[in-house]
Structures are given as structure tokens and as C-alpha cells.
């Protein structure tokens, strides 16, 4: 059972999300809060597994509350549930310690997947959020192609077809479970490929893999 704390300052919005969550097996809304300060108090009282957190709230907004809750209760997973598809908000949420970012008009299946993903310890970003971040990265000034051209040249490294597939999926922001499902392999196999890619390419983190994939032209955007 995934215990959820729902935080939003609009009563009708909370009621709608609460009703939606009640349709998901294995999910229980243990408490609801009207703002970040109230959420902080309820976390101490109810110890939820996941908090679905709005951003724009009085008293203490969602980003402030996220940072404070992660400082006091680092084991608690927080998903920002917002109406804003804004790169700055996403970056601020992740820096504050959020484990995910979803839009409020997301389908039930996506919310269910997000809850399961963050509880397993992974980051979850909705498909439109991922697309927005990749597009912003590619369009950022100064032009990313010019910045890439200035990077030190790397020796040509041959990757297997499967490694290229996994690298592309990682660069597009899919989680381990999503990649496994999309490619028809196990999550452990995905993790093994990711480890091999890092070792083979001399890259230590996911952002490094993303940059490499962009340099190699593996990332494509839906039009």
C-alpha cells in the first residue's frame, strides 16, 4: 500500500485528485493539506510514502515545502503536481528534492506509474515534461551545437545496437522500468546496459550520457 499525502490549496482540486487516487489499487490517501506548512506538520504525523504537492500556495509554497520536508524527512518521496509546464519550475523542484513532476491533467495511468516509480527510488517526469526539457536544452542559448563543437574530441567508440537503444531511451528521460517495457527486456538488463555504457564511455552520471547522446544525434523530438 502506497500512503499518499495530498497537498493543494484548492478544495475542489484536492477532491478531484483524491477521487482519482481512490480508483488506483494499492494507493491510500492518508491526509490532505491546504499549504506547505500544514503538509510539514502532517508528514510528521502520518509518515506518508509519497506527497503529491502543488506549487503555488499561500503560507508556504510547494517548492519551499519540498526542500524543508526533504531536509526533515529525507525518506519521503515528493511528486510536484502542477498545472505549469515550465522548465524553471521543473528544475527548481528537482533541486529542492522532488522525485517527480507531473501535470494536473495527467491520466490516471500516468499518476499510478509515477507513484510506483518514485517509491522504487527512481525519478519520474511525465512525457510532456521530458519533451519540454529536451527541447529547452537543445534550443538553449548559446546554441548547444556550438557548445558541443567546442568540447574535446573523443575517440570513436563502437556501441552495440542494444546499447545505442538504451542510451537513446535514457537521453529521452525514460525510467528504468519504462525502458524495460519499451524494449522488452528486464529492468536488471537495462541497469546492466547503463553501467556498461558509463564504463565504456568514461561517463559517471546520467546527464553525461544525455550530452553524449545529443552529440551523437541519438535524441530526436516528436514534431
Domain boundaries, the chain: 2-124, 141-215
User: pTM for this one?
Assistant: 0.66
* Average pLDDT rounded to a whole number, residues 77-89: 87
Assess whether pLDDT exceeds 90 at residue 32. Answer: yes
Rounded mean pLDDT of 140-160? Answer: 52
Considering the segment(s) 141-215 as one domain, its CATH architecture is Orthogonal Bundle (1.10)
Rounded to an integer, the average pLDDT of 193-211 is: 81
Of 207, 180, 223, residue with least CA distance to 215: 207
pLDDT band at 148 (very low <50, low <70, confident <90, very high): very low
In whole angstroms, give the CA distance from residue 110 to residue 103.
Answer: 10
At the topology level of CATH, where does 2-124 sit?
A: Rossmann fold (3.40.50)
Residues in contact with 183: Cβ distance below 8 Å, sequence separation at least 6, in sequence order: 162, 165, 166, 169, 190
Residue 69 has pLDDT above 90, yes or no: yes
Amino acid at each position: 500500500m502506497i500512503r499518499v499525502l495530498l497537498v493543494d490549496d484548492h478544495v475542489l482540486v484536492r477532491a478531484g485528485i483524491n477521487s482519482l487516487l481512490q480508483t488506483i489499487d494499492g494507493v491510500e490517501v492518508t491526509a490532505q493539506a491546504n499549504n506547505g506548512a500544514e503538509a510539514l506538520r502532517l508528514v510528521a504525523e502520518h509518515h506518508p510514502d509519497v506527497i503529491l504537492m502543488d506549487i503555488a500556495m499561500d503560507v508556504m509554497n510547494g517548492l519551499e515545502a519540498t526542500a524543508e520536508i526533504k531536509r526533515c524527512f529525507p525518506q519521503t518521496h515528493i511528486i510536484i503536481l502542477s498545472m505549469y509546464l515550465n522548465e524553471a519550475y521543473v528544475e527548481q523542484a528537482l533541486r529542492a528534492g522532488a522525485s517527480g513532476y507531473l501535470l494536473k491533467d495527467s491520466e490516471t495511468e500516468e499518476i499510478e506509474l509515477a507513484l510506483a516509480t518514485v517509491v522504487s527510488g527512481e525519478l519520474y517526469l511525465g512525457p510532456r515534461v521530458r519533451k519540454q526539457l529536451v527541447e529547452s536544452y537543445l534550443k538553449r542559448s548559446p546554441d548547444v551545437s556550438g557548445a558541443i563543437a567546442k568540447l574535446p574530441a573523443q575517440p570513436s567508440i563502437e556501441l552495440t545496437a542494444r546499447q545505442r537503444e538504451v542510451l537513446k531511451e535514457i537521453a529521452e528521460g525514460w525510467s528504468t522500468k519504462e525502458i524495460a517495457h519499451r524494449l522488452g527486456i528486464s529492468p536488471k538488463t537495462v541497469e546492466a546496459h547503463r553501467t556498461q555504457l558509463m564504463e565504456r564511455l568514461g561517463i559517471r552520471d546520467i546527464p553525461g550520457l544525455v550530452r553524449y547522446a545529443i552529440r551523437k544525434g541519438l535524441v530526436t523530438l516528436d514534431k
